[in-house]
Amino acid sequence: MTEAAELPPAPEQARDVFGDRFSDAVRYAELLAEAGVQRGLIGPREVPRLWERHLLNCAVLSEVVPEGVTVCDVGSGAGLPGIPLALVREDLKITLLEPLLRRTTFLTEVVELLGLDHVTVVRGRAEEVMGKLPPVHVVTARAVAPLDRLATWGIPLLRPYGEMLALKGDTAVDELKSAATALSKLGAVDTSILHVGEGVVDPLSTVVRVEVGESPGGVRFAAKRAKAARTGRTRRRR
């Protein structure tokens, strides 16, 4: 049996980024390195680089999330980027959306242990919860799917004039070009590539921002959303 990789000490930047929540960030890192690996949520090879590649890489997303908004982290997995974002931004109301039970079980345990009262865990797929969850200002995602496919799941969850923020790597430019037609059909009105985490992570974290207009998801999803809302009202009357 291979010996478990050891979690390195938190880098000094983590104290600045997480502030009063630094001890909670350390506990989350420990949970990822232990239960996260044991349950197959992250690979053991990721443990030595948990801080730089995962926690800090995700936490700096906060630089481009507006104040006091609602956020849905699609395909949250082990809580990345949702949990680090929640640790540094208590002004946000965050939903961690994840279809797999073993992952939502882990996420619920983390949220309760760290006392993240502004975070809700929901089990389900994005296409299943549309109309059941209130539309949000911001959708986040990391390592879920190529941008064109991710957009079909994430954009319909947005409020009018909301935005999707997808953490991407070196493929960001190519993915954005390939997804241009799909994004337009889904109601996107503007796209950009942002680099965040100056002085915290190296290389900088790359974020693809997709801003939508008054019809997130386009005409087809507007009809679905309206139907789901009508169904929800009918059920509440019974």
DSSP 85-99: HHHH-TTSEEEEEE-
In the prediction, which pLDDT does 230 show? 63
* Lowest mean pLDDT segment, chosen from 165-174, 178-187, 194-203, 226-235: 226-235
In the prediction, which pLDDT does 235 show? 54
More confident residue, 228 or 151: 151
pLDDT surpasses 90 at 234: no
The whole-number average pLDDT for the span 96-106 is: 97
Residues 150, 151, 156, 162: what is their CA dihedral angle, to the nearest 10 degrees? 120
**Which residues fall within 8 angstroms of residue 203, CB to CB, at 6 or more apart?**
none
In the prediction, which pLDDT does 5 show? 76
> Structure pTM?
0.91
Separation CA 84–CA 86 (nearest Å): 5
* Residue 154 vs residues 87, 128, 139, 224: alpha-carbon distances, Å: 22, 12, 6, 14
Task: Report the alpha-carbon angle 82-86-87, nearest 5.
Answer: 120
In the prediction, which pLDDT does 236 show? 55
Separation CA 11–CA 192 (nearest Å): 30
- The alpha carbons of the chain give a radius of gyration, in whole angstroms, of 18
For residue 44, count CB atoms less than 10 angstroms from its CB and return exposed for 0-12, middle for 13-18, buried for 19 or more.
middle
Which band of pLDDT confidence, cut at 50, 70 and 90, is reported for residue 167? very high
In the prediction, which pLDDT does 218 show? 76
Reference 136, options 176, 106, 101, 96; nearest CA is 96
Q: What is the pLDDT of residues 8-35, one digit of tens each?
A: 999 999 999 999 999 999 999 999 999 9
Query: For the chain, what percent of residues have pLDDT higher than 90?
Result: 84
Separation CA 32–CA 46 (nearest Å): 10
Beta-bridge partners for 98: 123
The whole-number average pLDDT for the span 56-77 is: 98
In the prediction, which pLDDT does 131 show? 84
Residues 232, 91, 196, 187: what is their CA dihedral angle, to the nearest 10 degrees? 20
Query: For the chain, what percent of residues have pLDDT higher than 70?
Result: 90
In the prediction, which pLDDT does 1 show? 37
